[in-house]
Structure 1
Amino acid sequence: MNNLFAIIAMVLVSSQLAGGEVVRQRDIVYHRTEGVAMTLDVFVPENPNGIGIIKIVSGGWKSHHHKVGEGFTSPYTDHGYTVFAVFHGSQPRYQVREIMDFMHRSVRFIRVNADRWNIDPNNIGVTGSSAGGHLSLILATTGAPGDPTAKDPIDRVSSAVQAAAVFYPPTDYLNWSEPGDDAVGIGKQARWQPAFGDESATAAGRQTLGHAMSSIYHITESTPPISIIHGDADPIVPLFQSQSFKKVAESKGVPIELVIKAGAKHGWPNRQADEIQFLKWFDRHLLPPARNDVGFRLGTCDWSIQQQFSTESFHFAKRVGLRGIQYSFGTEGDGLDLRTRQNRDTLRDTVKQTGVAISSMGIGLLNKIPFATTDEGENLVIECIETMEKLKREATELAERDPTDHEFATLVSPNVVLIAFFNRGDINGNPALIEQTITKLKRVAPFAEKHGVTLAIESLLNEKDLRHILDSVGSPALKVYYDTGNSARMGYDIYREIASLGADNICEIHIKENNALLGEGEIDFVKVKSLLTTMQYNGWIIIEGSAPKGMNRTTACKHNAAFALDLFAK
């Protein structure tokens, strides 16, 4: 009987920490191989925030339970994070390739069982030191979707993480302390050769293995935010490893920070105090965006990050701290076509997961199928209004069934649709097309009014022509979608136009710079913010474009989001 109680005590124990009682669930099996169980321990805080952090227990690719002592989960559990201490099979029995696979499996297991621990499956962080840092960055750079045809449901889900924070990580075994310094089981890493296995016996094998196990070669524009702390006197993993990684990450537009500790070696006393930096990093990149009642609501267009008709645009927005996505409305069959209830449900689920709103709709297809001259263009606008009405009605029904969904209902009920007039749809300088546009808007505007939708004209027109259209149509459902970049490119005085049109006529705004990042071109966005504040503008501010020639759009949007958040969200 005493043995039974001892076993139960090992499975579930509680400890008292600064942040309240933390319940530890021990020895949960996430994988079995050759009759051996791979396990993890879960630390559930008294007041969980719904976010999970994986802490990889590994040193020299050996994983020991005695490393998980008092204070192991601080400061994360103290601040509401659920911590997963992940153990793996140790070298030399298991080699690095196998150990990396174990890590991917652990993330998939945690994601599949997210409801069990009440964490967000789409918002998981990872941390570790030394070999644990190496494995953390492998997850950050090579985490991938699962195999939808796999027999095991765990293998069908993604192993990607959404943020990483690590101490002194190895990142490039082919260039260890300087370019060309091969350390794939030889040279400065020879004492760990058993972990590399037979593949490290030949130069060709080392090249293949070194590339596979070095996170620096797998960095892409989609790599999640990464924080690193490394000592400049580290005799085991040279600082060169983190500096090289940072350089490549920055070239890809990955949010990254590297803190160099002067005189620090491979570990140092009171290292836990430095994890406060990691805590802040996870707070910034994993917690839902703060709802700031003072600052402006900021979002981006799905087309500006090359994710039209895709739920991934919402996850991207969350990662960079934006609160909304301007979602594309296109022809039937384009990506996630919102004409179908199933697709609207999918999009609502994504909004609920991310907390990122559908800020507005945009019909970019009108640049190919002009509103002014085609019946198809007019029908697109009508179909979009109908779809927006369905989104509103269905959200209202959800809120009526569950009063806690009232705030959520506002996130999935956009009121504004952008009517584009560019390329083939351009009407600037053509009075006849402007009059045709007025005629059509007079037909469509009453339908928009009926369903509480605002039609927003985005064009190359100047203020005089815009006012002529607004006055001629005479509908409260017709407003201007102001674009700073387009108007500046046309040579208009954007500051005068914004002030003159005012909040009565501008329902939404694109902040955009021509062939430059926001804040690095000709537009004075501090002045734009001042004008919007003065006129008490309360619509969305949407980041569009603003990329120098040759720069990846996603990379540019990460930079632009940081600039806009710093300026407009305060």
Structure 2
Amino acid sequence: MMIRQFTVCGVVLLLTTSMLNADDAAPVKEGASVAKVAAERFFRQHDQNQDGRLSPEEFPKRLQGLFSQIDVNRDRQITLSEDIAYRERRRQRGNRARPDQRQLPENVTALRDLEYARVGGKSLRLDLYLPRDAKGKRPLVVWVHGGAWKQGDKGRCPALRLVTRGYAVASLNYRFSQEAIFPAQIEDCKAAIRWLRSRAQQHQLDPERIGVWGSSAGGHLVALLGTSGDVAALQGSAGDLQQSSRVQCVVDYFGPTDFLQMDAHALPNAPFKHNAASSPESQLVGGPITEVPEKVAAANPITYVSKDDPPFLIVHGDRDPLVPHHQSELLADALKQAGVQFKLHTVQGGGHGFGNRPELDRLVDQFLDRHLRASVGGAAEEKAANNQATMRGRSLGTCTSCGRAVARSRRQ
């Protein structure tokens, strides 16, 4: 997601999450125009006295931890050039994000840049990480990165730690909204699942034990993988169409689920409007979301919820300024009504990202172990214990884009 009225250049999105330490100021090279535009807009929003500098008092409180990283000369003032340089350093780090083979544990094999599909001449690739000492077929977890559907890279893969627990892990790239609008993104994710299933024997993967995990825009896409397994309109034409794109469980970290509900339930300090034509959601569907409700419905994971969907673990902070917590409540609501197993875990005080939280790692591990390590269909019933969301009244409609029933929340 992006900060208020920013073209989602990515830098401001990263400001809301945990950061690497800044290097010394470096000259701005290629890509500088993107960083410059984003920095100028940020200054226009926050430079209250218009002196061309941001003081600690003017700098957004939610981002105070980044002030010293941007203020490289330590004069307690951030200049426009310092902001631009910081954003450019972040962009360059993103380009170098893929983990180094030498940094992997000794018992992990990395197969990088495997082409899972080719669309319009573009090669779509994924990385696959395999435990060397695992016996038999390995359960697989597929990571889908966030980045407002406009940026990000498969190299940043929080799920990589699961390989040491005996899982195979894949991390994929997909087309961004500036390359192709929805449903390109979900079509790519489904093509990757089918490709991995078709290569299961080659890589000792269990094709019947595939889970997906993603955050933010990636959370939206994994939720769609979970709810639209039977939707032909979202399958696309790339990859091995003889294989299924269904998954066996979903870990959704703060993904959007109903775009038109986001502004109505945003926090008072929400930094931008999702209904705006420049929002990530509008750019994803190819127009202002208020003007293309049918396209929005086709992109909403809750549109496709049905009783045969896989179990969900939904994790969301109640102080998320970018994706309102209500979005996860809506998904939990729809899953409950359909009789799908789920757990909604609210991170008290959590924003858009959680940093290093061992308790969340344990929560994810337990969920994946329950649904991927056990024999298929052997997970215990959890519905009563896990249905923790506040329920909202809902009505049914029809999505004219796909013909399926649409569950819509009545505005509160």
TM-score tier by shorter-chain length is: 0.5 to 0.7
Offset from partner CA, 1:51-91 (integer Å, 9 cap, x none):
0110012311134337526xx33431121000000111222
1:192 matches 2:280: yes
- State how many pairs are aligned: 278
Match of 1:268 among 354, 379, 399: 354
Distance 1:175 1:28, change over 3 A: same
Q: CA deviation at 1:276?
A: 2.3
Counting only pairs closer than 5 Å after superposition, residues 416-431 of structure 1 correspond to structure 2 as none
Distance 1:74 1:85, change over 3 A: closer
Offset from partner CA, 1:82-125 (integer Å, 9 cap, x none):
00001112221122311111111111111111112111112100
What is the match of residue 181 of structure 2? 95
* Counterpart residue type for residue 50 of structure 1: R
What is the match of residue 309 of structure 2? 223
Matched position secondary structure for 2:161: coil
Matched position secondary structure for 1:28: strand
Distance 1:129 1:151, change over 3 A: closer
Q: CA deviation at 1:221?
A: 0.7
Q: CA deviation at 1:194?
A: 5.9
What is the match of residue 337 of structure 2? 251
1:24 matches 2:126: no
Distance, in Å, in 1 between the alignment partners of 2:360 and 2:212 is 16
Offset from partner CA, 1:144-185 (integer Å, 9 cap, x none):
3889xx9987112111000011211111113225489xxxx9
Match of 2:207 among 105, 121, 126: 121
1:55 matches 2:143: yes
Offset from partner CA, 1:489-530 (integer Å, 9 cap, x none):
xxxxxxxxxxxxxxxxxxxxxxxxxxxx99xxxxxxxxxxxx
1:318 matches 2:406: no
TM-score of the aligned structures, taking structure 1 as reference length: 0.45
Counting only pairs closer than 5 Å after superposition, residues 158-237 of structure 1 correspond to structure 2 as 158-178=244-264, 186-187=274-275, 190-192=278-280, 195-200=283-288, 203=291, 205=292, 207-237=293-323
**Highest relative contact order (Cα 8 Å, sep 6+), 1 or 2?**
2
What is the match of residue 242 of structure 1? 328
* Counterpart residue type for residue 352 of structure 2: H
Match of 1:45 among 123, 131, 150: 131
* Counterpart residue type for residue 147 of structure 2: G
What is the match of residue 408 of structure 1? none
Distance 1:153 1:83, change over 3 A: closer
Distance, in Å, in 2 between the alignment partners of 1:122 and 1:275 is 23
Q: CA deviation at 1:273?
A: 5.2
What is the match of residue 466 of structure 1? none
Matched position secondary structure for 1:187: coil
Offset from partner CA, 1:221-267 (integer Å, 9 cap, x none):
10100001100000000000001111121121111001111111101
* Counterpart residue type for residue 286 of structure 1: L
Offset from partner CA, 1:470-505 (integer Å, 9 cap, x none):
xxxxxxxxxxxxxxxxxxxxxxxxxxxxxxxxxxxx
For the 8 Å contact 1:227–1:258, the answer to whether it is kept is yes
Distance, in Å, in 1 between the alignment partners of 2:146 and 2:338 is 28
Matched position secondary structure for 2:221: helix
For the 8 Å contact 2:276–2:288, the answer to whether it is kept is no
Distance 1:145 1:242, change over 3 A: closer
What is the match of residue 67 of structure 2? none
Q: CA deviation at 1:202?
A: 6.4
Which structure has the bigger radius of gyration? 1
Distance, in Å, in 2 between the alignment partners of 1:161 and 1:274 is 22
Distance, in Å, in 1 between the alignment partners of 2:278 and 2:362 is 34
Distance 1:229 1:198, change over 3 A: closer
Distance, in Å, in 1 between the alignment partners of 2:294 and 2:159 is 36
Distance 1:151 1:135, change over 3 A: closer
Offset from partner CA, 1:278-297 (integer Å, 9 cap, x none):
111010011124xxxxxxxx
Matched position secondary structure for 2:367: helix
1:133 matches 2:193: no
Distance, in Å, in 1 between the alignment partners of 2:231 and 2:334 is 23
Distance 1:241 1:202, change over 3 A: closer
Matched position secondary structure for 1:275: helix
Matched position secondary structure for 2:125: strand
Counting only pairs closer than 5 Å after superposition, residues 76-91 of structure 1 correspond to structure 2 as 76-91=162-177
For the 8 Å contact 2:108–2:163, the answer to whether it is kept is yes
CA RMSD of aligned residues (A): 3.3
Distance, in Å, in 1 between the alignment partners of 2:289 and 2:362 is 41
Distance 1:39 1:252, change over 3 A: same
**Percentage of matched positions with identical amino acids:** 25
Structure 2, unmatched stretches of 5+, are 1-97, 267-272, 385-412
Q: CA deviation at 1:23?
A: 1.2
Matched position secondary structure for 1:166: strand
Distance 1:228 1:151, change over 3 A: closer
TM-score of the aligned structures, taking structure 2 as reference length: 0.61
* Counterpart residue type for residue 318 of structure 1: G
Distance, in Å, in 1 between the alignment partners of 2:244 and 2:253 is 25
Distance, in Å, in 2 between the alignment partners of 1:273 and 1:12 is 27
For the 8 Å contact 1:11–1:25, the answer to whether it is kept is no
* Counterpart residue type for residue 324 of structure 2: P
Offset from partner CA, 1:338-369 (integer Å, 9 cap, x none):
xxxxxxxxxxxxxxxxxxxxxxxxxxxxxxxx
Distance 1:73 1:47, change over 3 A: farther
For the 8 Å contact 1:15–1:23, the answer to whether it is kept is no
Matched position secondary structure for 1:235: coil
Offset from partner CA, 1:532-568 (integer Å, 9 cap, x none):
xxxxxxxxxxxxxxxxxxxxxxxxxxxxxxxxxxxxx
* Counterpart residue type for residue 126 of structure 2: L
For the 8 Å contact 2:289–2:296, the answer to whether it is kept is no
